[in-house]
Structure 1
């Protein structure tokens, strides 16, 4: 017995007569997702940036390491990995579709016939075994621990993606690096390493810098990436999440979750947890570059825009910016 996998179909009967009255009902399901980090104080009146930007943002309570994060969402099956800007992250397993397996009882007390012809009875001349369902591709996903994960981690680290540990375990930090690779390659951002993502790693896909001299923190809004650049060379590629474009209310005022583009510089930094004066939450070790907009650490950095205007990176990536790379006050920040 063969059972086809897929969504159940619903039929609509047709009645033909002299007069037919039919009524069809439609149900629309909607789902919304609003994910954002928090805000900071009002931008100063003499701020260099002019925009409808949110005065900042916050984050959930910090995690010292991005590897401690749970995936944001279950990845889709990337048998084809189209480019996109709004994908979630994570992974999951099929919860089952009720298909009876060969040899299982189908409810009539008799074992299921596996369809093997025996030359007698009523097999109706079918002398071929039923087609077997193809095996699912062996993709690398969140939670896997293997040598091939270690090989992937090393490759990403060699290319400059933010990976601190080659431990053969696909955790939050590795997922962030895969997100960044998929963004740089214009691939579907689900954190699942299929053929297209693996090819991007093998081919050495890395974003190019927009600046040519000095030490610059570049923020690519279109691809949702933060780049640490030195004299035109990208030394680190970090997954990021900026303003989601939604409007929100804070202390009786309405703001737009917008990250302004332009040339700025770090003018204020807080070496620790900073609470938003708009009561939107906290942000880890922020470096403000215009008004209340900062690059800061967060325990939640999805593969799509999700903040109130600030630029989120993982807590461990923010620690690297502070403790290893530097980016002190005065460091240029170019947002494009």
Structure 2
């Protein structure tokens, strides 16, 4: 680990100004992912800017019915919050399916959005990785890649985004509020993370020095029917092979509105918009859900070891949509 300075920010503006002044500075909140990367020599910042004591730890109702979640709210506090459990249970289920209780107690909302892939080739500096060293190559593309992407990948990177929370946020039409040297701006959640293309080292569309200040959840009435289904190698403390966040609103037997997002399949939480458009106005039955699943996986390009993900994802989509149509709950 290289030598670095440690500075405790006194305000959001102070944190942003310090980051803008030093291109190699990094923010640290809960540190549940960053510290691991520091120990593995994946990040070598010149300074760490501690934002953990800034006033971004509240969950507040907004005038338009949205819920504003401070970037430093812990995963545990968010999952246990009464308004989240009541109106966005899909988010609670997603959070509780990830990590351990100890990690959730420390991990923050903003940090969850910015956690980096758990691709073993990224973490092992003996292997080539364009995300770690741009232009060096992607060892995962021809290596052991059963956990890797089937949608939206490029020849530069086939890693997947590791978050459970972010899949639920993508399905809920969340908005990310950020603050930088040019002031505040809001980024729709579906536009926050990036596909690898030719710049896999960039995970998000944040500009240098920008800091996440909050995540905003709009009032989606049918989010109460939301389902989060996570399939993994073991039940405890394991990243998703694939995951599905789904919520349906019915008008009689027809689908009035729908949200569908996938995890474990792409470099970012994958919003299945084409499948959503297909579902609206259709009957809420298994035949419709089967067609929607096929649409969601159009364009999937499996690697040598992860072809199983296509059929597994389709089955998970059908299951999640069926349970949501029945009112939601645990699957």
TM-score by length of 1: 0.28
Q: Which has the larger radius of gyration?
A: 1
Q: Larger % of helix: which?
A: 2
TM-score by length of 2: 0.29
Relative contact order higher in (CA < 8 Å, ≥ 6 apart): 1
